[in-house]
Structure 1
Amino acid sequence: MSDGPFRNAMLSSRWKSYGQKLVSDAMTAQERTAQACHSMIGDVDMKTFHPLFSELKAHAERPQMDLDTVAAIETIFNNRPILPLVDVLQRHLVANLRDHVPPEKALDQALDSTAKEWTGIIKNRLDEECIRARDRGDMRLADYRKGIERNHETFSAIKSNELCAALASGNKRAFHPVIQKKSGVDEGPEE
Protein backbone atom coordinates (compact mmCIF):
# COMPACT_ATOMS: atom_id res chain seq x y z
CA MET A 1 0.00 0.00 0.00
CA SER A 2 1.73 3.14 -1.14
CA ASP A 3 -0.88 5.88 -1.13
CA GLY A 4 -3.37 7.32 1.23
CA PRO A 5 -2.90 9.48 4.28
CA PHE A 6 -1.89 6.55 6.51
CA ARG A 7 0.79 5.19 4.16
CA ASN A 8 3.57 5.95 6.65
CA ALA A 9 1.58 4.92 9.72
CA MET A 10 2.21 1.74 11.67
CA LEU A 11 -1.22 0.35 10.77
CA SER A 12 -2.51 -2.79 9.08
CA SER A 13 -3.38 -2.67 5.40
CA ARG A 14 -7.08 -2.71 6.38
CA TRP A 15 -6.65 0.53 8.34
CA LYS A 16 -4.57 2.08 5.55
CA SER A 17 -7.43 1.27 3.18
CA TYR A 18 -9.82 2.91 5.63
CA GLY A 19 -7.57 6.00 5.57
CA GLN A 20 -7.85 6.16 1.79
CA LYS A 21 -11.64 5.89 2.05
CA LEU A 22 -11.74 8.71 4.60
CA VAL A 23 -10.44 11.25 2.11
CA SER A 24 -11.95 9.77 -1.05
CA ASP A 25 -15.11 11.40 -2.33
CA ALA A 26 -15.84 8.22 -4.30
CA MET A 27 -16.60 6.29 -1.10
CA THR A 28 -19.93 6.35 0.66
CA ALA A 29 -20.43 6.71 4.39
CA GLN A 30 -21.76 3.14 4.41
CA GLU A 31 -18.58 1.85 2.74
CA ARG A 32 -16.40 3.68 5.25
CA THR A 33 -18.42 2.26 8.15
CA ALA A 34 -18.20 -1.27 6.73
CA GLN A 35 -14.43 -0.87 6.25
CA ALA A 36 -14.03 0.36 9.83
CA CYS A 37 -16.01 -2.61 11.20
CA HIS A 38 -14.09 -5.03 8.97
CA SER A 39 -10.81 -3.54 10.19
CA MET A 40 -11.85 -3.70 13.83
CA ILE A 41 -12.93 -7.34 13.60
CA GLY A 42 -9.77 -8.11 11.63
CA ASP A 43 -7.70 -6.84 14.55
CA VAL A 44 -9.27 -9.34 16.95
CA ASP A 45 -7.47 -12.61 17.62
CA MET A 46 -10.61 -14.73 17.22
CA LYS A 47 -8.68 -17.93 18.01
CA THR A 48 -8.32 -16.52 21.51
CA PHE A 49 -11.43 -14.37 21.88
CA HIS A 50 -14.13 -16.70 20.52
CA PRO A 51 -13.30 -19.76 22.68
CA LEU A 52 -13.15 -17.50 25.73
CA PHE A 53 -16.49 -15.92 24.91
CA SER A 54 -18.02 -19.35 24.22
CA GLU A 55 -16.82 -20.61 27.60
CA LEU A 56 -18.20 -17.52 29.33
CA LYS A 57 -21.52 -17.94 27.51
CA ALA A 58 -21.77 -21.63 28.47
CA HIS A 59 -20.93 -20.77 32.09
CA ALA A 60 -23.50 -17.95 32.19
CA GLU A 61 -26.26 -20.14 30.72
CA ARG A 62 -25.87 -23.06 33.10
CA PRO A 63 -27.80 -23.15 36.35
CA GLN A 64 -25.54 -21.34 38.77
CA MET A 65 -23.93 -23.44 41.42
CA ASP A 66 -21.08 -21.04 42.19
CA LEU A 67 -20.90 -19.49 45.61
CA ASP A 68 -18.78 -16.70 44.16
CA THR A 69 -19.71 -16.04 40.53
CA VAL A 70 -17.08 -13.31 40.16
CA ALA A 71 -14.30 -15.67 41.24
CA ALA A 72 -15.51 -18.36 38.83
CA ILE A 73 -15.56 -15.86 35.94
CA GLU A 74 -12.14 -14.48 36.86
CA THR A 75 -10.77 -18.03 36.81
CA ILE A 76 -12.01 -18.44 33.24
CA PHE A 77 -10.27 -15.21 32.24
CA ASN A 78 -7.07 -16.14 34.11
CA ASN A 79 -6.80 -19.37 32.10
CA ARG A 80 -6.69 -17.45 28.79
CA PRO A 81 -4.16 -15.11 27.19
CA ILE A 82 -4.63 -11.46 28.04
CA LEU A 83 -5.63 -9.27 25.09
CA PRO A 84 -6.74 -5.63 25.26
CA LEU A 85 -10.28 -6.48 24.12
CA VAL A 86 -10.46 -9.37 26.59
CA ASP A 87 -9.34 -7.04 29.37
CA VAL A 88 -12.16 -4.60 28.54
CA LEU A 89 -14.70 -7.45 28.47
CA GLN A 90 -13.47 -8.76 31.81
CA ARG A 91 -13.69 -5.35 33.43
CA HIS A 92 -17.29 -4.82 32.28
CA LEU A 93 -18.42 -8.36 33.07
CA VAL A 94 -16.97 -8.35 36.58
CA ALA A 95 -18.52 -4.93 37.27
CA ASN A 96 -21.92 -6.20 36.12
CA LEU A 97 -21.65 -9.33 38.27
CA ARG A 98 -20.64 -7.27 41.31
CA ASP A 99 -23.79 -5.20 40.70
CA HIS A 100 -25.72 -8.50 41.06
CA VAL A 101 -26.82 -8.64 37.43
CA PRO A 102 -27.73 -12.23 36.47
CA PRO A 103 -24.76 -13.87 34.66
CA GLU A 104 -26.36 -14.25 31.22
CA LYS A 105 -27.58 -10.66 31.20
CA ALA A 106 -24.27 -9.47 32.68
CA LEU A 107 -22.37 -11.08 29.79
CA ASP A 108 -24.65 -9.57 27.13
CA GLN A 109 -24.36 -6.12 28.71
CA ALA A 110 -20.59 -6.51 29.10
CA LEU A 111 -20.19 -7.42 25.42
CA ASP A 112 -22.26 -4.39 24.38
CA SER A 113 -20.28 -2.09 26.70
CA THR A 114 -17.05 -3.59 25.38
CA ALA A 115 -18.06 -2.95 21.76
CA LYS A 116 -18.96 0.66 22.55
CA GLU A 117 -15.77 1.34 24.50
CA TRP A 118 -13.66 -0.36 21.81
CA THR A 119 -15.33 1.74 19.10
CA GLY A 120 -14.48 4.92 21.02
CA ILE A 121 -10.87 3.85 21.55
CA ILE A 122 -10.37 3.06 17.85
CA LYS A 123 -12.05 6.31 16.77
CA ASN A 124 -9.68 8.29 18.97
CA ARG A 125 -6.66 6.39 17.66
CA LEU A 126 -7.64 7.14 14.08
CA ASP A 127 -8.18 10.80 14.91
CA GLU A 128 -4.60 10.74 16.23
CA GLU A 129 -3.40 9.07 13.01
CA CYS A 130 -5.07 11.85 11.02
CA ILE A 131 -3.24 14.43 13.13
CA ARG A 132 0.07 12.62 12.62
CA ALA A 133 -0.56 12.28 8.86
CA ARG A 134 -1.27 16.01 8.65
CA ASP A 135 1.85 16.83 10.66
CA ARG A 136 4.00 14.54 8.45
CA GLY A 137 2.59 16.13 5.32
CA ASP A 138 0.86 12.90 4.21
CA MET A 139 -2.52 14.63 4.48
CA ARG A 140 -3.38 18.10 3.23
CA LEU A 141 -5.22 20.43 5.61
CA ALA A 142 -8.47 20.13 3.62
CA ASP A 143 -8.21 16.32 3.67
CA TYR A 144 -7.38 16.42 7.37
CA ARG A 145 -10.58 18.32 8.15
CA LYS A 146 -12.56 15.99 5.89
CA GLY A 147 -10.88 12.94 7.44
CA ILE A 148 -11.63 13.96 11.03
CA GLU A 149 -15.24 14.78 10.19
CA ARG A 150 -15.76 11.55 8.27
CA ASN A 151 -14.03 9.52 10.96
CA HIS A 152 -16.49 10.88 13.52
CA GLU A 153 -19.43 10.18 11.18
CA THR A 154 -18.16 6.67 10.51
CA PHE A 155 -17.72 5.67 14.12
CA SER A 156 -21.03 7.27 15.09
CA ALA A 157 -22.72 5.05 12.49
CA ILE A 158 -21.26 1.79 13.82
CA LYS A 159 -23.95 -0.35 15.38
CA SER A 160 -22.60 -2.01 18.51
CA ASN A 161 -25.10 -4.87 18.16
CA GLU A 162 -23.53 -5.82 14.80
CA LEU A 163 -20.03 -5.77 16.31
CA CYS A 164 -21.33 -7.83 19.24
CA ALA A 165 -22.85 -10.41 16.88
CA ALA A 166 -19.56 -10.72 14.97
CA LEU A 167 -17.57 -11.07 18.19
CA ALA A 168 -20.00 -13.58 19.73
CA SER A 169 -20.04 -15.72 16.58
CA GLY A 170 -16.30 -15.44 15.97
CA ASN A 171 -17.03 -14.36 12.38
CA LYS A 172 -14.02 -12.36 11.14
CA ARG A 173 -15.71 -11.93 7.77
CA ALA A 174 -18.97 -10.51 9.15
CA PHE A 175 -18.45 -7.18 7.40
CA HIS A 176 -16.46 -8.41 4.40
CA PRO A 177 -19.34 -8.87 1.89
CA VAL A 178 -20.38 -5.25 2.40
CA ILE A 179 -16.97 -3.87 1.43
CA GLN A 180 -16.41 -5.90 -1.74
CA LYS A 181 -15.64 -3.80 -4.77
CA LYS A 182 -18.44 -2.84 -7.12
CA SER A 183 -18.09 -4.60 -10.43
CA GLY A 184 -20.60 -3.01 -12.78
CA VAL A 185 -19.78 -0.03 -14.99
CA ASP A 186 -22.89 1.79 -13.85
CA GLU A 187 -22.21 1.24 -10.18
CA GLY A 188 -20.65 4.12 -8.35
CA PRO A 189 -20.93 5.91 -5.08
CA GLU A 190 -24.41 6.60 -3.83
CA GLU A 191 -25.36 10.22 -3.72
Structure 2
Amino acid sequence: MTDGPFRNAELSHRWKQYGKDLVSDAMSVEERTTQAGHSMIGDVDVPAISGILGAIKAHADRPQMDLDVISSMDMLFDSCAKSPLLDMLQKHLFANLRDQMPLNTALDEALPSAVSDWIGMTKNRVDEECIRARDIGDMNVDDYRKGIARNAETFAGVSVNALCEALTTGDKHAFKQAQQKKTGVDEGPDE
Protein backbone atom coordinates (compact mmCIF):
# COMPACT_ATOMS: atom_id res chain seq x y z
CA MET A 1 0.00 0.00 0.00
CA THR A 2 1.51 3.30 -1.03
CA ASP A 3 -0.90 5.82 0.41
CA GLY A 4 -2.93 6.52 3.51
CA PRO A 5 -1.85 7.68 6.94
CA PHE A 6 -0.79 4.19 8.08
CA ARG A 7 1.33 3.42 5.00
CA ASN A 8 4.51 3.14 7.08
CA ALA A 9 2.88 1.32 10.00
CA GLU A 10 3.41 -2.35 10.69
CA LEU A 11 -0.28 -3.13 10.32
CA SER A 12 -2.29 -5.55 8.21
CA HIS A 13 -3.76 -4.45 4.90
CA ARG A 14 -7.17 -4.28 6.60
CA TRP A 15 -5.96 -1.74 9.17
CA LYS A 16 -4.12 0.30 6.56
CA GLN A 17 -7.40 0.46 4.61
CA TYR A 18 -9.17 1.52 7.79
CA GLY A 19 -6.60 4.33 8.18
CA LYS A 20 -7.40 5.54 4.67
CA ASP A 21 -11.12 5.34 5.48
CA LEU A 22 -10.62 7.46 8.61
CA VAL A 23 -9.42 10.47 6.66
CA SER A 24 -11.66 9.97 3.62
CA ASP A 25 -14.73 12.18 3.51
CA ALA A 26 -16.32 9.68 1.10
CA MET A 27 -16.63 6.98 3.79
CA SER A 28 -19.66 6.83 6.06
CA VAL A 29 -19.60 5.93 9.75
CA GLU A 30 -21.29 2.62 8.90
CA GLU A 31 -18.63 1.77 6.31
CA ARG A 32 -15.83 2.59 8.74
CA THR A 33 -17.55 0.57 11.48
CA THR A 34 -17.86 -2.43 9.18
CA GLN A 35 -14.20 -2.11 8.17
CA ALA A 36 -13.18 -1.91 11.83
CA GLY A 37 -15.18 -5.07 12.65
CA HIS A 38 -13.70 -6.84 9.62
CA SER A 39 -10.21 -5.80 10.68
CA MET A 40 -10.74 -6.93 14.27
CA ILE A 41 -11.98 -10.35 13.18
CA GLY A 42 -8.97 -10.59 10.87
CA ASP A 43 -6.64 -10.08 13.84
CA VAL A 44 -7.73 -13.19 15.76
CA ASP A 45 -7.83 -16.93 15.20
CA VAL A 46 -11.60 -17.18 14.95
CA PRO A 47 -11.77 -21.00 14.63
CA ALA A 48 -9.58 -21.41 17.74
CA ILE A 49 -11.70 -19.00 19.79
CA SER A 50 -14.90 -20.61 18.53
CA GLY A 51 -13.45 -23.98 19.51
CA ILE A 52 -12.67 -22.93 23.07
CA LEU A 53 -16.10 -21.29 23.44
CA GLY A 54 -17.67 -24.53 22.22
CA ALA A 55 -15.56 -26.56 24.64
CA ILE A 56 -16.62 -24.36 27.56
CA LYS A 57 -20.29 -24.70 26.55
CA ALA A 58 -19.91 -28.48 26.22
CA HIS A 59 -18.31 -28.65 29.67
CA ALA A 60 -21.14 -26.56 31.13
CA ASP A 61 -23.77 -28.79 29.54
CA ARG A 62 -22.37 -32.00 31.05
CA PRO A 63 -24.79 -33.42 33.60
CA GLN A 64 -22.18 -34.34 36.24
CA MET A 65 -21.10 -31.80 38.79
CA ASP A 66 -17.60 -30.38 38.43
CA LEU A 67 -16.15 -29.81 41.89
CA ASP A 68 -13.39 -27.50 40.66
CA VAL A 69 -14.64 -25.77 37.53
CA ILE A 70 -11.88 -23.14 37.70
CA SER A 71 -9.19 -25.85 37.47
CA SER A 72 -11.03 -27.46 34.57
CA MET A 73 -11.25 -24.13 32.76
CA ASP A 74 -7.61 -23.36 33.57
CA MET A 75 -6.56 -26.63 31.91
CA LEU A 76 -8.75 -25.82 28.90
CA PHE A 77 -7.22 -22.36 28.45
CA ASP A 78 -3.70 -23.76 28.97
CA SER A 79 -4.26 -26.19 26.11
CA CYS A 80 -4.71 -23.45 23.51
CA ALA A 81 -2.45 -20.78 22.05
CA LYS A 82 -2.41 -17.54 24.03
CA SER A 83 -3.83 -14.32 22.62
CA PRO A 84 -4.88 -11.01 24.17
CA LEU A 85 -8.56 -11.74 23.49
CA LEU A 86 -8.40 -15.20 25.10
CA ASP A 87 -6.55 -13.71 28.08
CA MET A 88 -9.35 -11.15 28.52
CA LEU A 89 -11.99 -13.87 28.19
CA GLN A 90 -10.20 -16.04 30.76
CA LYS A 91 -9.91 -13.12 33.19
CA HIS A 92 -13.62 -12.28 32.96
CA LEU A 93 -14.72 -15.92 33.06
CA PHE A 94 -12.64 -16.66 36.16
CA ALA A 95 -13.88 -13.52 37.93
CA ASN A 96 -17.46 -14.62 37.27
CA LEU A 97 -16.75 -18.18 38.42
CA ARG A 98 -15.19 -16.84 41.64
CA ASP A 99 -18.46 -14.95 42.17
CA GLN A 100 -20.14 -18.39 42.25
CA MET A 101 -21.88 -18.07 38.87
CA PRO A 102 -22.79 -21.25 37.02
CA LEU A 103 -20.42 -21.86 34.10
CA ASN A 104 -23.00 -21.07 31.37
CA THR A 105 -23.93 -17.78 33.04
CA ALA A 106 -20.28 -16.94 33.69
CA LEU A 107 -19.47 -17.46 30.00
CA ASP A 108 -22.57 -15.57 28.81
CA GLU A 109 -21.41 -12.55 30.82
CA ALA A 110 -17.66 -12.97 30.25
CA LEU A 111 -17.71 -13.02 26.45
CA PRO A 112 -19.39 -9.60 25.95
CA SER A 113 -17.17 -8.11 28.67
CA ALA A 114 -14.03 -9.46 27.00
CA VAL A 115 -15.20 -8.24 23.58
CA SER A 116 -15.92 -4.78 25.02
CA ASP A 117 -12.38 -4.69 26.41
CA TRP A 118 -11.04 -5.85 23.03
CA ILE A 119 -12.92 -3.05 21.24
CA GLY A 120 -11.48 -0.47 23.65
CA MET A 121 -7.97 -1.86 23.33
CA THR A 122 -8.21 -1.83 19.53
CA LYS A 123 -9.55 1.74 19.48
CA ASN A 124 -6.64 2.86 21.63
CA ARG A 125 -4.18 1.08 19.35
CA VAL A 126 -5.58 2.93 16.31
CA ASP A 127 -5.41 6.22 18.25
CA GLU A 128 -1.73 5.48 18.91
CA GLU A 129 -1.18 4.81 15.20
CA CYS A 130 -2.79 8.16 14.39
CA ILE A 131 -0.44 9.89 16.84
CA ARG A 132 2.56 8.08 15.35
CA ALA A 133 1.45 8.91 11.78
CA ARG A 134 1.10 12.58 12.74
CA ASP A 135 4.49 12.61 14.46
CA ILE A 136 6.33 11.17 11.44
CA GLY A 137 4.45 13.35 8.95
CA ASP A 138 2.23 10.69 7.33
CA MET A 139 -0.84 12.51 8.66
CA ASN A 140 -1.25 16.28 8.80
CA VAL A 141 -2.76 17.97 11.86
CA ASP A 142 -6.22 18.36 10.30
CA ASP A 143 -6.35 14.71 9.24
CA TYR A 144 -5.07 13.73 12.68
CA ARG A 145 -7.91 15.57 14.42
CA LYS A 146 -10.41 14.13 11.94
CA GLY A 147 -8.94 10.64 12.37
CA ILE A 148 -9.08 10.69 16.19
CA ALA A 149 -12.67 11.99 16.19
CA ARG A 150 -13.81 9.52 13.54
CA ASN A 151 -12.02 6.64 15.25
CA ALA A 152 -13.93 7.34 18.48
CA GLU A 153 -17.18 7.60 16.53
CA THR A 154 -16.44 4.37 14.65
CA PHE A 155 -15.53 2.26 17.66
CA ALA A 156 -18.56 3.57 19.56
CA GLY A 157 -20.61 1.91 16.80
CA VAL A 158 -18.82 -1.45 16.71
CA SER A 159 -21.36 -4.06 17.79
CA VAL A 160 -20.32 -6.19 20.75
CA ASN A 161 -23.12 -8.61 19.86
CA ALA A 162 -21.99 -8.97 16.23
CA LEU A 163 -18.42 -9.69 17.30
CA CYS A 164 -19.61 -12.18 19.96
CA GLU A 165 -21.77 -13.93 17.36
CA ALA A 166 -18.90 -14.12 14.87
CA LEU A 167 -16.58 -15.57 17.53
CA THR A 168 -19.17 -18.04 18.82
CA THR A 169 -20.16 -19.32 15.39
CA GLY A 170 -16.63 -19.23 14.00
CA ASP A 171 -17.70 -16.93 11.15
CA LYS A 172 -14.50 -15.13 10.22
CA HIS A 173 -16.31 -13.55 7.26
CA ALA A 174 -19.09 -12.02 9.38
CA PHE A 175 -18.24 -8.47 8.34
CA LYS A 176 -16.98 -9.24 4.84
CA GLN A 177 -20.36 -9.25 3.07
CA ALA A 178 -21.41 -5.99 4.68
CA GLN A 179 -18.03 -4.57 3.72
CA GLN A 180 -18.49 -5.30 -0.01
CA LYS A 181 -18.63 -2.16 -2.12
CA LYS A 182 -21.98 -1.07 -3.50
CA THR A 183 -22.04 -2.00 -7.14
CA GLY A 184 -25.65 -1.61 -8.25
CA VAL A 185 -26.63 1.12 -10.69
CA ASP A 186 -29.27 2.45 -8.32
CA GLU A 187 -27.01 2.43 -5.30
CA GLY A 188 -25.14 5.57 -4.46
CA PRO A 189 -23.57 6.99 -1.36
CA ASP A 190 -25.66 7.03 1.79
CA GLU A 191 -27.15 10.37 2.63
What is the TM-score of this pair, normalised by structure 2?
Answer: 0.96
Q: How does 1:6-85 map to 2 (within 5 A)?
A: 6-85=6-85
Residue correspondence of structure 1 range 154-169 to structure 2 within 5 A? 154-169=154-169
Partner residue in 1 for 2:112: 112
Q: What is the percent sequence identity of the aligned residues?
A: 59
CA contact (8 A) 1:60 1:107 kept: no
Query: Aligned-pair distance for 1:143?
Result: 0.7
* Aligned AA (2:72): A
SS of the residue 1:6 aligns to = coil
Q: Residues of 1 paired with 2:2 and 2:172: CA distance?
A: 25
Report the alpha carbon displacement of residue 85 of structure 1 after superposing the two structures with TM: 1.1
> What is the Cα deviation at residue 65 of structure 1?
1.4
Of 59-68 and 134-143, deviating more is 59-68
Instruction: Provide structure 1 residue ranges, at least 5 long, that are not aligned to the other structure.
Output: none
1:29 shift after superposition: 0.3
Aligned length: 191
Q: Distance in 1 between matches of 2:186 and 2:136?
A: 37
1:112, 1:160 within 8 Å by CA — same for their partners in 2?
yes
Alpha-carbon distance in structure 1 between the residues aligned to 2:189 and 2:136: 30
Cα deviation for residue 59 of structure 1 reads: 0.9
Q: CA RMSD in A?
A: 1.1
Give the AA of the match of 2:155: F
Q: In structure 1, what is the Cα distance between the partners aligned to 2:23 and 2:190?
A: 16
Partners of 2:4 and 2:57 lie apart in 1 by: 41
The match for 1:86 is 86
Once the two structures are superposed, residues 80-104 of structure 1 have per-residue CA deviations (whole angstroms, 9 ceiling, x without a partner) of 1111111111111011000011110
Partner of 2:146: 146
Structure 1 stretches of 4+ with a deviation exceeding 3 A read 184-188
Paired position in structure 2 for 1:173: 173
Residue of structure 1 equivalent to 2:124: 124
